[in-house]
Amino acid sequence: MEYKEDRECNDFNLPPEGISADKRNKIFMNQLEFFKEQKKNFLGYQVNQCINHEEIIKQFFNLHINNVGDPFEKGNMTINSKPMEQAVLDYYAKLLNATTPYDPNNGESYWGYTLSMGSTQGNFSAIFNARDYLGGKVLLKYEEDKRVIKLNSRNSKCTRLTENLVCYQAEIPKNNRNAYTPVAFYSQDTHYSIFKATRVLNFQTFYELGSANYECPLNYPDDYPDGFSQNHLGENNWPIKVPSNRDGSINIPILVKLVEFFVKKGHPIYICFNYGTTFKGAYDNVQEAVNALVPILKENNMYEREITYIQNNEIKKIKRNGFWFHVDGALGVAYMPLIEKAIEKGLITLPENYKFPYFDFRIPEIHSIVMSIYKWIGSPISFGLFMTKIKHQISIPRDPMYIGSPETAFSGSRNGLAPIILWNFLAKHSEEEQIRMALHTEMLAQYAESKLKELQQKSNIDLWVERSPLALTIRFRKPNKSIIFKYSLSCETTYVNDEQRSYAHIFTMGHVSQDLIDRLVNDLNKPDAFVESLEG
Ligand SMILES: *Cc1c(COP(=O)(O)O)cnc(C)c1O
């Protein structure tokens, strides 16, 4: 099999005198040819390569469009696409059953913004907000509270953040020193951006706190799910992350046990659920988890609690949850609401013994949801959406509870092209058409699963072919390098029980055809396809 070389930096060397137009053109053509070739066989990542925005979007290319700041505050940067941004936010808020339209005077109303990065930025936003929300921070406006701040700063009760932004730290109650020390929970199958965000934002995980201070409430192996590997156990026999089921979804009984352990010690709780995990494409059953967690939170006064602070010499109280439930729905949030509609219309049936995993704002306990919308719609640039409710925002311009800065979006400059691309997609494709698109990708995933299982039956090696319920991805034994390069396959090493396995996976995104899947299966059927992984 031919092994195609990738491009090197040398092909693009930049001499001080620059490069002539002719030569530039040739270099660009080569680059484009390479991309086009790779696009023909693109199967390994969850991005739709079917992109048709060019004729509309190129008209906006000779402009700098910047949505800096809050999407609902126009500001003086007039070359912005904020009104379009508001329209796409409203569209998704409705799809996710949030309270719409956006209303700054209604705490239940949704609030959100388009991310200039994908879900990574959204996960940072959620953890940032949750840390201060659960940590008992209250934002005050400097101008109004100069005197109080002076007074309080002597008792180190206030922290000044910027020139006009001040944060009041609620006093830690004497009967619970953990009241404002939140603990983060996320599963083994969680994207690394969550781990990164907890590090950057100095947010403690249950493992860090638990392994340093307590005996683990779980016993190995009795309390652990089928397939769990000892490699995921850390110090003092604590699991490093919340164990997942074999399909990649979070194990709810274990999550409940771990949460109960920390809630009983007085800690507020942050949980990151997954809706379409990166490698296995699994959906956490968020509704089921919330149903199991709410009674425990209520019993331990963590469902709703009072935060006391001082403003203008007056003692004030606000009510907040002692938990934050976040959904990282990088891929799944974009199409699973469409699949739900297709199920209602009888266009697709659920796998046997599988309940639809509800996850959205119909569950009142959900605080935030993010998605990397570019993965699903097909877009030349990556971007995402972050959604929460006004009442949970720690920095809201007009909320009477907190008075803070309008720099609510975390990122400074925000890409103004992103909302235009998304608006174009949503205006062009009716909901019915989008449901058809979602069904098409599900059907292709079923097709790929059956073709790979057929291959497995013919083959004399175990190809470990697996697909989690309703996932758009199928995983199998990692093939040789040239197949990985040809189809841009993403690979991961995991443990099944204590056996270390190297997998590859494919995603059946919008641009994928049966023919492409057939070509892959054909290559996987060749004698040398799995030589490397069998040799170790
Ligand atoms: C892709 C992905 C992310 C990160 O998204 P970016 O668009 O790369 O920022 C986060 N979580 C999950 C589950 C993902 O699949």
- DSSP string of 187-226? BTT--HHHHHHHHHTT--BHHHHHHHHS--SS-TTTTSPT
Ligand 1 atom nearest the C-alpha of 374 is: 7
Q: Ligand 1 site: residues with CB under 6 angstroms? A: 117-120, 191, 193, 274, 277-278, 328, 330-331, 372, 382, 384
Protein residue whose Cα sits closest to atom 1 of ligand 1: 330
Distance of CA 469 from the midpoint of ligand 1 (Å): 20
Nearest CA-CA partner of 439 in 338, 518, 344, 511: 338
Protein residue whose Cα sits closest to atom 5 of ligand 1: 119
Distance of CA 472 from the midpoint of ligand 1 (Å): 15
Which token pair is 237?
A: 């026999």
Question: Could you identify the residue written with the tokens 């992350």?
Answer: 241
Protein residue whose Cα sits closest to atom 15 of ligand 1: 278
- Return phi, psi of residue 380, to 5°: -70, -20
Out of 117, 124, 193, mutate this one to test ligand 1's pocket (max ligand atoms within 8 Å of CB): namely 193
Distance of CA 496 from the midpoint of ligand 1 (Å): 24
Hey, how many other C-beta atoms are within 10 angstroms of the C-beta on 148? 20
Q: What is the C-alpha to C-alpha distance for residues 205 and 425, in angstroms, rounded to an integer?
A: 39
Ligand 1 atom nearest the C-alpha of 117 is: 9
How many Å is the Cα radius of gyration of the chain? Answer: 25
Distance of CA 494 from the midpoint of ligand 1 (Å): 19
Distance of CA 118 from the midpoint of ligand 1 (Å): 6
Out of 117, 119, 195, 468, mutate this one to test ligand 1's pocket (max ligand atoms within 8 Å of CB): namely 119
Distance of CA 119 from the midpoint of ligand 1 (Å): 5
Which token pair is 299?
A: 């019993």
Distance of CA 386 from the midpoint of ligand 1 (Å): 12
Question: Looking at residue 144, what is its pLDDT?
Answer: 52
Protein residue whose Cα sits closest to atom 10 of ligand 1: 119
Ligand 1 atom nearest the C-alpha of 122 is: 9
Find how far residue 447's CA is from the centre of its chain.
Answer: 27
Distance of CA 331 from the midpoint of ligand 1 (Å): 8
Q: What is the C-alpha to C-alpha distance for residues 52 and 54, in angstroms, rounded to an integer?
A: 6
**Rounded to 5 degrees, what angle do the CA atoms 157, 389, 121 make?**
80
Q: What b/e sequence results for 271-302 when a residue is b if at least 16 CB atoms lie within 10 Å of its CB, and e otherwise?
A: bbbbbbbbbbbbbbbbbebbebbeebbeebeb
Distance of CA 121 from the midpoint of ligand 1 (Å): 9
Contact indicator for 115, 381 with CB cutoff of 8 Å: no
Question: Could you identify the residue written with the tokens 């940590």?
Answer: 135
pTM: 0.93
- DSSP string of 141-157? EHHHHHHHHHHHHHTT-
Protein residue whose Cα sits closest to atom 2 of ligand 1: 330
Contact indicator for 203, 184 with CB cutoff of 8 Å: yes
Burial bucket for residue 57 (CB in 10 Å: 0-12, 13-18, 19+) = middle
Burial bucket for residue 362 (CB in 10 Å: 0-12, 13-18, 19+) = exposed
Distance of CA 307 from the midpoint of ligand 1 (Å): 34
Question: Looking at residue 157, what is its pLDDT?
Answer: 57
Identity of the residue numbered 181: T
Question: Looking at residue 180, what is its pLDDT?
Answer: 95
Out of 191, 196, 327, 410, mutate this one to test ligand 1's pocket (max ligand atoms within 8 Å of CB): namely 191
Distance of CA 330 from the midpoint of ligand 1 (Å): 5
Q: What is the C-alpha to C-alpha distance for residues 165 and 317, in angstroms, rounded to an integer?
A: 20
Identity of the residue numbered 476: F
Q: What is the C-alpha to C-alpha distance for residues 293 and 254, in angstroms, rounded to an integer?
A: 11
- DSSP string of 219-255? -TTTTSPTT--GGGB-GGG-BSSBPBPTTSSB-HHHH
Identity of the residue numbered 459: S
pLDDT truncated to tens, each residue of the chain (536 aa)?
A: 344 467 888 889 999 999 999 999 999 999 999 999 999 999 999 999 999 888 888 899 999 999 988 898 877 889 999 999 999 999 999 999 999 999 989 999 999 999 999 999 999 999 999 998 999 988 765 555 555 555 555 555 555 555 455 677 888 889 999 999 999 999 999 999 999 999 998 999 999 999 999 999 999 999 999 889 999 999 999 999 999 999 999 999 999 999 999 999 999 999 999 999 999 999 999 999 999 999 999 999 999 999 988 777 788 888 999 999 999 999 999 999 999 999 999 999 999 999 999 999 999 999 999 999 999 999 999 999 999 999 998 754 433 233 333 556 666 788 999 999 999 999 999 999 999 999 999 999 999 999 999 999 999 889 999 999 999 999 999 999 999 999 999 999 988 888 899 999 999 999 999 999 999 999 999 999 998 777 65
Sheet hosting strand 158-162, strand order edge to edge: 137-141, 165-169, 158-162
Q: Which residues contact 192 (CB under 8 A, 6 or more apart)?
A: none
- DSSP string of 353-403? T------STTSTTEEEEEE-HHHHH--SS--EEEEEEGGG-SS-SS-SS--
Q: What is the C-alpha to C-alpha distance for residues 438 and 343, in angstroms, rounded to an integer?
A: 11
Q: What is the C-alpha to C-alpha distance for residues 139 and 394, in angstroms, rounded to an integer?
A: 7
Question: Looking at residue 387, what is its pLDDT?
Answer: 97
Q: What is the C-alpha to C-alpha distance for residues 428 and 424, in angstroms, rounded to an integer?
A: 6
Protein residue whose Cα sits closest to atom 8 of ligand 1: 118
Contact indicator for 461, 477 with CB cutoff of 8 Å: yes
Find how far residue 461's CA is from the centre of its chain.
Answer: 35
Q: What b/e sequence results for 446-482 when a residue is b if at least 16 CB atoms lie within 10 Å of its CB, and e otherwise?
A: bbbbebbeebbeeeeeebebbbbbbbbbbbbbbbbeb
Complete domains list, the chain, with CATH: 9-52+434-535 (3.90.1150), 82-141+170-428 (3.40.640.10), 142-169 (no CATH)
Q: What is the C-alpha to C-alpha distance for residues 138 and 403, in angstroms, rounded to an integer?
A: 9
Ligand 1 atom nearest the C-alpha of 274 is: 13
Nearest CA-CA partner of 411 in 91, 62, 128, 81: 128
Question: Looking at residue 396, what is its pLDDT?
Answer: 41
- Return phi, psi of residue 403, to 5°: -120, 110
